[in-house]
A and B are shown apart, each in its own frame.
Chain A
Amino acid sequence: MELESGFRAIRNAVEPQMPPESLRQSLLREFARKSRLRMRRRIAAWTLAVAAALICVTAVRQQKPAIAEQASLQIALEEGFQAVPYAPALAQGELVRFVRTEVAPDTLTRLGVFVADGSSDSIPVDLVVGQDNAPLAVRVDEEDKENKEND
């Protein structure tokens, strides 16, 4: 009974007590500050993510032509071209061109491409050349060669 009245007295003394308004204000300020920080971090994270995505896309785009050109060289070799021995490998992103020209047989021999032709006249060839104009593959166009001989 005595404890109960004591509890009541303590309750009556403490119950009207409230945390000071300054505490609420200080916490709200802190919350606003942390929210701003969080927002800035979120923006930074998104910016980084977008930048990383852009770098990836750019890298893939840069890689694609090289892959395409490597593939076109491969296709050329499958289409009857002979690879020029010891020609430098294609650099990443290096473009190749197809060139139709006439070359003396001994020039082809010097390139390491053997042509069974006794004459010393130039013969029509298709060349695959790199960006430095170095020949990478050669195809002797037999039809053009015959036409030239008939002329």
Chain B
Amino acid sequence: MNDFSDEELYRRMRKGDQKAFSELYERRAPSLYRYVLYSTGNPANAEEVTHEVFLQMMAPSQNFDERRGSVEAYLYGMARNLVRTQSRQTRRETALGDFGQEHILDQTLIQEESAAALHSAIRELPMRYRDAIVLCDIEERSYEEAARWMQCPVGTVRSRLSRGRALLAAKMKRFRQVARWN
């Protein structure tokens, strides 16, 4: 199974091969889980999205088209849509006064205050800039790989990355100013 491409594993999985599904999960679930963790900062969200992505993948109506991209990009696309839906839901709940457990990662794992502030600033970025920052700057993927995942040209990834960094720099500048006053 290790020698098979993701696409071959997907085909086998669609025919009911549980080992192929398991192998695909082993290969892709960790990066999807981390992508959601970077994007939302909440392990519960990461678990939920990863679970939902793989559930959707095994649904009879789901048909991945190889001509449109890799399995990895297909899974990422589903995760991205789910994160977007979750973000909208979280915003609604926050507006209603239910703050939930939004910043668990910052409280438990990221000890450094400025890094926690940066992570918080990343989460507040619009999705298109956040994706570019998460994929290229944090996960250190190549522009080409990020472009495949984001299904946009490499030039767009570069421009989103540049805009995202500028937004983050501005936010971090404000954070430093506030920290100095305190």
Of A9, A27, A28, A39, which contacts B110 at CB under 8 A? A9
Given contacts A18-B30, A26-B51, A31-B18, contact A13 B110 (CB under 8 A): yes
Q: Least Cβ distance of B31 to chain A in Å?
A: 10
| Interchain CA distance A30-B51 in the complex, whole Å | 11
Q: Does B103 have its Cβ within 8 Å of any Cβ on chain A?
A: no
- Chain-A contact segment, one of B21-29, B70-78, B89-97, B150-158: B21-29
A4: chain B residues within 8 A (beta carbon): 137
Is there contact, CB below 8 Å, between B16 and A17? Answer: no
Q: Which of B18, B30, B137 has the most CB of A within 10 A?
A: B137
The chain A residue sitting closest to B169, CB to CB, is: A3
Is there contact, CB below 8 Å, between A7 and B18? Answer: no
- Chain-A contact segment, one of B3-11, B53-61, B79-87: B53-61
Query: Interface SS of chain B: helix, strand, loop or mixed?
Result: helix
| Interchain CA distance A34-B109 in the complex, whole Å | 37
| Interchain CA distance A15-B105 in the complex, whole Å | 12
Given contacts A6-B115, A24-B25, contact A17 B58 (CB under 8 A): no
Query: Interface SS of chain A: helix, strand, loop or mixed?
Result: helix
Is there contact, CB below 8 Å, between A10 and B16? Answer: no
Of A9, A10, A19, which contacts B38 at CB under 8 A? A10
Q: Does A64 have its Cβ within 8 Å of any Cβ on chain B?
A: no
Q: Least Cβ distance of B59 to chain A in Å?
A: 8
Chain B's interface size range is 35 or more
The chain B residue sitting closest to A13, CB to CB, is: B109
Given contacts A13-B109, A19-B46, contact A28 B18 (CB under 8 A): yes
B60: chain A residues within 8 A (beta carbon): 38
Is there contact, CB below 8 Å, between A19 and B16? Answer: no
Is there contact, CB below 8 Å, between A14 and B58? Answer: no
Is there contact, CB below 8 Å, between A9 and B58? Answer: no
Given contacts A14-B34, A14-B105, A31-B58, contact A20 B47 (CB under 8 A): yes
B105: chain A residues within 8 A (beta carbon): 13-14
B148: chain A residues within 8 A (beta carbon): none
Q: Least Cβ distance of A32 to chain B in Å?
A: 6
Binding site for B on A (CB under 8 A): 2-7, 9-11, 13-15, 17-20, 23-24, 26-28, 30-32, 34-35, 38-39
